[in-house]
Structure 1
Amino acid sequence: MTSSPFRRLCHWGPISVLVIIKLITWAMIHMLGMWWPPHASLGGFVHAAIFLAFAAATLYYFLQSLLEGPGFVPYGWKPAKEEDTQFLQFCNVCNGYKAPRSHHCRKCGRCVMKMDHHCPWINCCVGHRNHCYFVIFLGSATIGCLQAAIVLTICVYQVINQIANIQSRTERDPAIYLTVSTFVLTLLALGMALGVVLAVGALLYIQVRSILRNRTTIEDWIMEKAVGRRVIGGVAPFMYPYDLGWRRNAALVINSARHDGIAWPLAPGCGQYDLTREQQAQKQLKALRSRVVVSVASYSGRWLPAQYPRAALHAPCTDEPRLALRPGTLLRVTRHRKYWMFGAMVESEGEEEIRGPRGWFPRAAVRPLHDKPE
């Protein structure tokens, strides 16, 4: 559930980020002090100043994206015009309608404005309010860690070369002295820096592309299904309503404080509820394709169920919940894989069915409702 901004820090994600920032910064300053001392040359001073600037920016924008939060739709929100509610989905948890571009996050426990994704590293969602902070955090972390990776690689090479050629060493060669513990920590910092460059750099590319198209990762998925639905059904192409051109798209993120996160500027010829209506059509199609199954065996809800070894070896790579089952439980399946199914518990089959918790469960634990038991 949603917690206070400062309590978000008390989580393995933010704590891990702070430890990584601390370790890489310590290793970088420690090695620079021996390889290219800032107090001994202008070049060393500038080099250290640039890195410290990126390190400070990484820490600042990390905390800003965490403490600011994504922005949440107010509890009980509904549109100004009552007739517009037909185009919106109702959230039973927040007891209000989901505003355009908002989605409910089960981890935050709220409907998030322009939700992109839930990030465990900042322990909250990336959304309307903190999207800009988050992208700057990614950019400064990537550039700072790239600089650190280059310097630490050179310094580690110098240490190894210094040990291998200790007799031929001259006074002009930089003297880098490391204990076993500091050498291990430096190697760990180098590995983390390289990991950040690769993983965070890839995420940075995705986020920059998302900003320039004014399309979140969730909306990318909606658009992909919209294209597929129209290709199969022969319906007219769907026009994404929020693409205003890359300059205006970027300005919307940079100047997020000027927008309420509810009503959005639209491309010419588009309506405020075009995307939500497309979502409703996709959900209706999803409901038509779903089917009801009944559990014929118990399932504990464990991620690696010992009683279903094949399912345990092919567990879905997702943090979505697993559903504990008892024999006779009815479920409406909306997604499935070879050894797993995803669906919601239902009270009874029919138009007035009441849906309960959703999650994954082993395919071997259920059978189609109208099939005869073997």
Structure 2
Amino acid sequence: MHRSAAVMAWNVFKFCTALRGLGSVMILMVLGVVGVTYYAVVVNNYGPALFAAESMDSLTAFTVLLLFHGLLVMLLWSYFSVVLTDPGGVPLNWRPVVEDEEAGEAMPLANSEFSSQILNMQQSAVISDPGDPRIRFCRKCNQFKPPRCHHCSVCGRCVLKMDHHCVWVVNCVGALNYKFFLLFLLYTFLETTLVTLSLLPHFIAFFNDGEIPGTPGTLATTFLTFVLNLAFALSVLGFLIMHISLVLGNTTTIEAYEKKSTPKWRYDLGRRRNFEQVFGIDKKYWLIPAYSEEDLRRIPALHGLEYPKKPDPESSGL
């Protein structure tokens, strides 16, 4: 039993090490798919059609190219925002705030004797309820953990409001870049859907033995681009639907798995407020990977350390 557990731990460590090694390979793969798609849509098909003799073909090509480039800019902006934005780590010497029941106020945990007692408690007990406001401690990082914070074995540190570690963005998805990740999914779905629909006539003509201009190489590129974008559109749609439901319930992928063991989820404040904790209140910023200064000032959840909760019925006497 002990031997199998040790082997499993070793295998997991080996897997995490491999994920760290992917690094820029995944970024190059994403850029490669974008490059092939750009060649097939712009250079190969709709670029030449833009200067066609028939005005209808020219108008269609202009519309497709305009939408394609607009979505591509937003996709790459969102993608590199996820890649380059730190998802949020625990600040140095961060201490949780505990409630002083006698004084009726909150105070930061600072007393060394009390701290040692808390550490001993956390090292000997496992908190099973992710909605429980008790003090949490990470044994791997040897530090206190803010609410909704989890340790990432790939990054080797605790990440604020960690959702998951994504190999496609070579980064953790957490409190500070979760919105950017969702926008990346949205624009990827819209872009791949546009490409699929725009190349569909060429794909149908390929199997109907229709006359298609171009060399065998360009036709193969168009065929490959259609298949790739169709596959990405279908797979990303599933992830997008899943994450929309998580946002509306104010939970993460990890928390959705954890809270199966508890009926309470104190962070669910209603769909609108849950949405605002990820995207902010300013509507002008909802569809771009950025936040207004006003939102950053007014919404503590965007910083990843504090989250408003529903009142506990037991403590309020309800």
TM-score, length-scaled by structure 1: 0.60
Does the 8 Å contact 2:160/2:304 carry over to 1?
Answer: yes
2:248 maps to: 212
CA shift, 1:212, in A, is 0.9
The 1:61–1:8 alpha-carbon spacing in structure 2 relative to 1, beyond 3 Å, is farther
Does the 8 Å contact 1:25/1:55 carry over to 2?
Answer: no
Which runs of structure 2 are paired with 1:10-25 in the superposition (5 Å)? 10-25=23-38
Whole-Å Cα distance in 1 between the matches of residues 210 and 154 of structure 2?
A: 55
> Of 291, 298, 309, which residue of structure 2 is paired with 1:266?
309
Does residue 196 (structure 1) correspond to residue 246 (structure 2)? The answer is no
CA shift, 1:15, in A, is 1.8
Does the 8 Å contact 1:241/1:267 carry over to 2?
Answer: yes
Does the 8 Å contact 1:38/1:44 carry over to 2?
Answer: no
Whole-Å Cα distance in 2 between the matches of residues 36 and 190 of structure 1?
A: 20
Whole-Å Cα distance in 1 between the matches of residues 52 and 89 of structure 2?
A: 46
Counterpart amino acid of 2:84? L
Structure in which a larger fraction of residues adopt strand: 1
Counterpart amino acid of 2:251? R
Counterpart amino acid of 2:166? C
Whole-Å Cα distance in 2 between the matches of residues 64 and 38 of structure 1?
A: 38
> Of 129, 133, 143, which residue of structure 1 is paired with 2:180?
133
CA shift, 1:243, in A, is 0.6
- Secondary structure of the 1:244 match is coil
The count of aligned residue pairs is: 244
The 1:58–1:8 alpha-carbon spacing in structure 2 relative to 1, beyond 3 Å, is farther
CA offsets, 1:264-311, max 9 Å, x none? Answer: 11123379xxxxxxxxxxxxxxxxxxxxxxxxxxxxxxxxxxxxxxxx
CA shift, 1:10, in A, is 4.3
Which of structures 1 and 2 has the larger relative contact order (alpha carbons within 8 angstroms, sep 6+)?
A: 2
> Of 242, 257, 266, which residue of structure 1 is paired with 2:267?
242
CA shift, 1:185, in A, is 1.8
2:195 maps to: 148
CA shift, 1:38, in A, is 8.1
- Secondary structure of the 1:122 match is coil
The 1:8–1:145 alpha-carbon spacing in structure 2 relative to 1, beyond 3 Å, is farther
Deviates more, 1:39-48 or 1:92-101: 39-48
CA shift, 1:109, in A, is 1.4
CA RMSD after TM alignment: 2.7
Whole-Å Cα distance in 2 between the matches of residues 194 and 137 of structure 1?
A: 17
> Of 113, 135, 139, which residue of structure 2 is paired with 1:88?
135
1:252 maps to: 277
CA offsets, 1:174-225, max 9 Å, x none? Answer: xx42222222222221111011111111111111111111110111111112
- Secondary structure of the 2:310 match is coil
Identity of aligned residues (%): 31
Deviates more, 1:216-225 or 1:9-18: 9-18
Counterpart amino acid of 1:154? P
Does residue 64 (structure 1) correspond to residue 81 (structure 2)? The answer is yes
CA shift, 1:9, in A, is 9.4
Q: Which runs of 5+ in 1 are unaligned?
A: 1-6, 167-175, 227-237, 272-374
Counterpart amino acid of 2:195? A
Does the 8 Å contact 1:212/1:246 carry over to 2?
Answer: yes
- Secondary structure of the 1:240 match is coil
CA shift, 1:261, in A, is 0.9
Which runs of structure 2 are paired with 1:260-339 in the superposition (5 Å)? 260-269=303-312
Runs of at least 4 residues of structure 1 off by over 4 A? 7-10, 34-40, 83-86
The 1:26–1:73 alpha-carbon spacing in structure 2 relative to 1, beyond 3 Å, is same
Q: Which runs of 5+ in 2 are unaligned?
A: 1-19, 98-107, 122-133, 281-290
The 1:185–1:51 alpha-carbon spacing in structure 2 relative to 1, beyond 3 Å, is same
TM-score, length-scaled by structure 2: 0.69
Counterpart amino acid of 2:32? V
Whole-Å Cα distance in 1 between the matches of residues 62 and 216 of structure 2?
A: 27
Counterpart amino acid of 1:253? V
Flag the structure with larger Rg. 1
Which runs of structure 2 are paired with 1:30-49 in the superposition (5 Å)? 30-34=44-48, 41-49=58-66
CA shift, 1:69, in A, is 2.6
